[in-house]
Chain A
């Protein structure tokens, strides 16, 4: 899927360059006038932000008997705050090396993969969570084709899952449309495709959990190896700009 996303991102960038040459940027917004937000809203925003931040530790209590939802709400608010302030965007991590040559966002993604690898190791090796949790059968053509489609789409949309959500919080209209489309398409996919996959009528690939299939040592070697190759590639590309499509 990772390889598919990279391919999709490159094709998406090339399409955007073609669109820039051939389609005027205001073709859909002709005649629409922007109205600035009311003056009082800008003054109120920092205070509303502080109120939300202060509420975070009280979320479990606010949710009453649904403590788990409260904890998830608190974590969600914190994650959204950090992602928004750092403008972290998965789409940019795949796009920037080929658009401007910059590798800093890709490096942060590589670091986050390593952190997730450690976290998942702890909870699955210790048995807190069964090995098959969040392991999908897409190690095959489904993962590659899905990655290409998603990579292409996220470049055009201007955001992936997390990037879309914090941009919606920021008030970007385009990403509100993206969020609604993602919700509808995800739901339709789950409702239509997943029952066929469970009934073995359709297969996108194998469900592979590396520690189970090749052992924990080889799992670490493979993941660390791929991340190292990716890291060295983006550093080399930043220096030489050989793979920059613009």
Chain B
């Protein structure tokens, strides 16, 4: 379990590739450096896209929680 309080939470439930990546990138663009984004989704492919998005943008992937088909991604903006 990731023990971090998010500053912004976005709902990606029902979205599949490439929408989750697009939404995460767009949200991170509007956040301040150091803030934590929590993205909740259902697409398992996003797990593979996120490391690349974080590396490219200089963000930190704090962790991924998975429960009951839902994936919770915690990302700190770089």
Contacts and interface: CB of A to CB of B under 8 A. Distances in A.
A161 to B, nearest CB: 15
A104 B17 CA distance: 17
Contacts of B48: 87
Interface string B36-48: 0000001111001
Contacts of A185: none
Interface residues of A, number: 29
A170 to B, nearest CB: 7
Contact of A101 (B15, B56, B69): B56
Contacts of A87: 45, 48
A99 interface: yes
A190 interface: no
A184 B16 CA distance: 23
B12 A25 contact: yes
A246 B25 CA distance: 8
Given A34-B42, A36-B68, A25 B21 contact: no
B14 interface: yes
Nearest to B41: A25
Contact of B17 (A17, A36, A102, A159): A159
Nearest to A173: B16
A100 B68 contact: no
Given A36-B69, A87-B48, A102-B52, A17 B14 contact: no
B58 interface: no
Interface string B3-40: 00000000111111111011101100100000000000
Nearest to B15: A25
B16 A246 contact: no
B69 A34 contact: yes
B16 A25 contact: no
Given A17-B22, A246-B25, A246-B26, A100 B16 contact: no
Nearest to A21: B26
A99 B53 CA distance: 10
A89 B21 CA distance: 15
A6 interface: no
A92 B44 CA distance: 16
B13 A20 contact: no
Given A25-B12, A26-B13, A34-B42, A20 B69 contact: no
21 contacts: A16-B19, A20-B19, A20-B26, A26-B11, A26-B14, A34-B42, A34-B68, A34-B70, A35-B69, A36-B68, A87-B48, A91-B18, A99-B25, A100-B52, A101-B56, A155-B18, A158-B19, A167-B45, A170-B44, A172-B43, A246-B29
Interface of A: 16-17, 20, 25-26, 28-29, 34-36, 87, 89, 91-92, 95, 99-102, 104, 155, 158-159, 167, 170, 172, 174-175, 246
